[in-house]
Structure 1
Amino acid sequence: MRILVTGGAGFIGSAFVRTIMMDSPHHDIVVLDKLTYAGNLANLAPVSSRLTFIQGDICDPQIVADAMAGCDAVVHFAAETHVDRSLLDAQDFLTTNIYGTYTLLEAARKQKVQRFLQISTDEVYGNALSPAGVSRPSVESDPFLPLSPYAASKAGADNLAYSYWATYGLPVTITRCSNNYGPYQYPEKQLPLFILNALEDRPLPIYGDGQHSRDWIYVQDHIAALLCILQHEDVNGAIFNIGATEERTTVQNACTILELTQKPLSLLRYVPDRSGHVRRHAVNASKLQQTLNWQPTVTFSEGIRQTICWYQEQLGWLEEIKARHNAFLHHALNLANSVS
């Protein structure tokens, strides 16, 4: 099978590429990535000699058509993903996440690809609530109630992808995963930011009261779920939540990382809450578990230890990221200092 992976140099996309190329070497992988701030060819280094890499924008119809030529499947990771960045400027999120998805869907329709995996997020649901307003993990039939431009852009992309299944019969499957963590994650996200700050004795910024909770899944469990879906041909038009039932608050995560890095609790630093901050993200993944017999295998306690060890051993990777002098990342790493 020839597979186009968009955003394949990013955190989750590169984990998918590394895994499928190591476990299923008969697949022919094409990676299309714009290499924005979070894209990194170093993430693909273990398998780079065996794949086709194309640097390009998913909003460019010609680049997309060329990259997709001869492909049997598309696994669409490419997206602007950081909530905080979307609060500052939503334009790139709308362009990449909605128009870029449209460009891919149109090319896939014209080229008659056999599978299209739309990789989405539980952010589209907003707070994890029942229709009656009771707090509980989100299910696939819950309405979209996005609380950030990022979440809204992904909800729009999901609706567009589903419409291509309903209208044109394009074999689309949509997945909505909870918060990922693991090796190679760009350090502006919560857990790698906390790890990096702890290792370098900077305060760990805790938004609001620190009680916002998320369901956390180790990235390899997410990848295993996607591969399971890709191997089944009778899931076209389906939507699957992916989660590990590992709900933790921000302050719990910060304390765990300080404990595992043997740093003092005095590095905890509360900062003003961000706008539209979802109180609880959690998904009910029973549909995926029952339909395809998938189960997460890595507990948070095990996964976070492995993740910390990886960052401690990959100081060169971290130094290369910091050497880019990205202003947003610098601000995020030093947020607690800026308000102290």
Structure 2
Amino acid sequence: MGKKSTKISNNKVFITGGGGFIGSHLCERLLVNNNKVVIYDSGHRNAIIHTGLLKHPDLKFVKGDVLDFDKVRSSMRGCNLVIHCAAIAGINTVIKKPIMTMKINLFGTYNVIEAAISNKVEKFIGFSTSEVYGPYIYKGSEDDLTTQGEVGKTRWTYAVSKLAAEHLVHCYKDEYGIDI
């Protein structure tokens, strides 16, 4: 039996965190597949500078923070697909800035999906992490129960924020019917 194609083409795609390592590689693939891409990124992880993508005629770069709802919403206008990659990552940042980690990863997701609903976006793809499986990271599957470390241990801030964001996105699917 043939596998259903998952190729994304002929869309106007809004990517948060598109300037980071994963986001910039994803942008590269999307542009090859005849998409127009809007990158919304804070510029903290600047991997995109080394790619030459910023000169591509079908790419628009918007420097912004996912905590700025109005800017997210206005920058997303006209897009039919959202790919949400923006997150605070890196264990050093998580340990030093646990509150900012929670805000960006959870409230940022809230802002991006609210903007998607407001803009009547057709599909929302949210990136998560294997960290949501806690100490069973290498043996976990999506059907397993999640287990996190001890409450109050900063080490788990990233995982908890991403897991909460996953639950939030699924709530939007259930309540608003957005395709995820």
Report whether the alignment pairs 1:145 with 2:147. Answer: yes
Tell me, in whole angstroms, the C-alpha distance in 2 between the residues paired with 1:111 and 1:54.
17
Q: CA contact under 8 A between 1:11 and 1:43: conserved in structure 2?
A: no
Consecutive aligned runs of 4 or more in structure 1 exceeding 3 Å deviation: none
Q: CA contact under 8 A between 1:79 and 1:97: conserved in structure 2?
A: yes
Report whether the alignment pairs 1:63 with 2:51. Answer: no
Unaligned stretches of 5+ residues in structure 1: 130-135, 173-340
Percent of pairs with identical residues: 31
Quick one: structure 1 residues 47 and 21, their matched pair in 2 at CA, closer, same or farther if it must change by over 3 Å?
A: farther
Could you tell me which amino acid in structure 2 is paired with residue 14 of structure 1? S
Match of 1:13 among 17, 23, 26: 23
Match of 2:83 among 75, 78, 89: 75
Report whether the alignment pairs 1:127 with 2:129. Answer: no
Q: CA contact under 8 A between 2:101 and 2:158: conserved in structure 1?
A: yes
Q: CA deviation at 1:92?
A: 1.2
Aligned length: 163
Q: How does 1:184-195 map to 2 (within 5 A)?
A: none
Q: CA contact under 8 A between 2:73 and 2:118: conserved in structure 1?
A: no
Match of 1:39 among 33, 41, 46: 46
Q: How does 1:286-301 map to 2 (within 5 A)?
A: none
Quick one: structure 1 residues 40 and 139, their matched pair in 2 at CA, closer, same or farther if it must change by over 3 Å?
A: closer
Tell me, in whole angstroms, the C-alpha distance in 1 between the residues paired with 2:24 and 2:162.
20
TM-score by length of 1: 0.46
Unaligned stretches of 5+ residues in structure 2: 1-10, 150-155
Report whether the alignment pairs 1:4 with 2:14. Answer: yes
**Deviation digits for residues 8-44 of structure 1 (CA, Å, limit 9, x no counterpart):** 010000000012212x1x21100000112x2344144
Q: CA deviation at 1:123?
A: 0.2
